[in-house]
Amino acid sequence: MKNIIVGGGRVGRELAAQLPESLIIERNAGKREKLSELAGVDVIIGDGSDEELLNRVGLDNVRAFISLTGNDDVNYRAAAIAKKHGVPKIIVRVEDPEDRERFQKLGIEYIMFPTKIVANLIGNLLHSGAGETLSPFNKILVPILNENTVEKAFKEALLIASVARAEVTAISSTDIDNQEMKAQAKEMGVLLKILLEEEKQRSIIKKHLRYPGCIIIDHVKEHLYYPDCIIIDQEELGILDKLFKRSVVLRLIKCASCPVLVARTFRYYERIIALLDSSEISKSVGRYSVQMAHLCGADLHLLILENVPGERIDGIKKMGEKGNVRIIEKWIEGNPMIEVAKEVKSGNYELAVIPWRGTGVVGSDLIRKIVNDAPCSVLTVV
């Protein structure tokens, strides 16, 4: 299994250095020498959007196809060919955010907008210290729920931290490969602290994992670490767990005084949905959703569930303008509960920003359902 990288520019080179067993296709023959210095990386000079060339290279045994040239048309053609050959993972760099739809229609799952992300980051630097910040989190905590946390919640935490310039603290047990975690954080330029579990604490957590109290939060407080956001893995709940409401994640959301993100996407968000009603908490929903959309260069879909004061929507739009976020308003007709379920389940979004508990218009039952079963990542805000 190999990775194919189209475009041997700086980004392509950096990536290939992290991904041994890669093949770079670069149009400019002058870059061959520099690229060949990378260990375990093959280089082919040619057009990455040329089907004949790609056929020659062979797309059958490819793990990931990553098209990173600065030309959207080349990336589009290359991705279309890879898609046709059924490459399991296709990642595309898109320069012009307005090109998004074309790539989405192609069925590409992973679309990156470096221009927008970089522009937003620079905007952040310029605006920092000048009033409202558009970076939502400075300290992210990844508590341990099970050994897969490193794989899932940790990855999403690193993605968010890398754009939010936040530091990540993971509470780790010795049976998790800390070196691997550190290496991943370093690659993404994220400051990582690992707090090692002691045997005694670990046994307390394990004991309470099935019937959790607020033990995890107490445990976090013991470390005197007050995060801005907790990122956790989704849980696999059985029928009995659901019936008796034995969910660690839900308990955590209930106890936490900061937003909790349930990780399911493991990539940058492109489309974020936020539920907006007239409750007080929806102010936070609006703020966090704009901030997240700004960080990831995502579109923000505001699902407006009832008559919301005009000034609140205007406030969100103003914030969106400041953060270079495209906001799409959607006023619902019909029953809010049903429409929320319909939208969140549609698979059109990578992140749903919701209140942490029922607000009246949206019941707490539905909130629980979204947290447990939504197909996207879920950020519950307080």
Partner 1 sequence: MPMILSPYFPLFAIVVFAFLIPILSDRIGVPAVVGEIICGIIIGRSVLGLFTGEEEGIAFLASFGFIFLMFLAGLEIDFSQVEVQGAKLFMFGTLVFLLTLAISMSLMHQLGYGFYMALVLSTSSVGVIVPAIREQGLLKSEFGQRIIISAFIADFTTMLLLTIHTLYHEEGISWEMFLMLLVFILFFAVYYFGKLAIWRYPERLSKWFKSDHPSEIGVRASFALLLVFVVLSDVVGVEAILGAFLAGVILSLLFHGGTVLEQKLYGIGYGFLIPIFFINVGMQFDLWALTRGWIYLVPMLLVIAFVVKIVPSLFFLTKYSLKDSISAGVLLSSRLSLIIAMAAVGLELGFIDTAMASAIILLAIMTSVICPTIFRWIHRKEKKE
Residues that bind partner 1 (CB under 8 A): 306, 333-339, 341-342, 345, 357-366, 369, 373
CB atoms within 10 A of CB 55: 12
Residues with Cβ within 8 Å of residue 351, at least 6 apart in sequence: 265, 269, 271, 272, 273, 292, 298, 376, 377, 378, 379
Whole-number Å distance between alpha carbons of 162 and 229: 14
Contact call for residues 68 and 15 (beta carbons, < 8 A): yes
Q: Are strands 377-381 and 260-263 parallel, antiparallel or unpaired?
A: antiparallel
**CB nearer to partner 1: pick between 91 and 381:** 381
**CB nearer to partner 1: pick between 60 and 280:** 280
Q: Shortest Cβ distance from residue 237 to partner 1 (Å)?
A: 14
Residues with Cβ within 8 Å of residue 93, at least 6 apart in sequence: 7, 11, 67, 68, 69, 70, 75, 112, 114
Q: Shortest Cβ distance from residue 229 to partner 1 (Å)?
A: 24
Q: Say whether 167 sits in a helix, a strand or coil.
A: strand
Q: Shortest Cβ distance from residue 358 to partner 1 (Å)?
A: 4
**CB nearer to partner 1: pick between 44 and 337:** 337
| Residue 195, beta-bridge partner list | 171
**CB nearer to partner 1: pick between 20 and 360:** 360
Contact call for residues 254 and 224 (beta carbons, < 8 A): no
Q: Say whether 70 sits in a helix, a strand or coil.
A: coil
CA torsion through residues 294, 296, 300, 303, sign: negative
**CB nearer to partner 1: pick between 292 and 366:** 366
**CB nearer to partner 1: pick between 50 and 339:** 339
**CB nearer to partner 1: pick between 61 and 307:** 307
**CB nearer to partner 1: pick between 32 and 254:** 254
311-345 b/e with 16+ CB inside 10 Å = b?
ebbeebbebbeebebbbeeeebeeebeebbbebbb
State the DSSP code for 324.
T
Q: Shortest Cβ distance from residue 308 to partner 1 (Å)?
A: 13
Contact call for residues 177 and 145 (beta carbons, < 8 A): no
**CB nearer to partner 1: pick between 18 and 346:** 346
Q: Token pair of 62, please?
A: 């490819």
| Listed residue (66, 88, 86) closest to 78, CA to CA | 66
Q: Which helix (H) or strand (E) holds 29?
A: none
Q: Token pair of 348, please?
A: 């059109």
**CB nearer to partner 1: pick between 190 and 366:** 366
Q: Shortest Cβ distance from residue 67 to partner 1 (Å)?
A: 35
Whole-number Å distance between alpha carbons of 368 and 172: 27
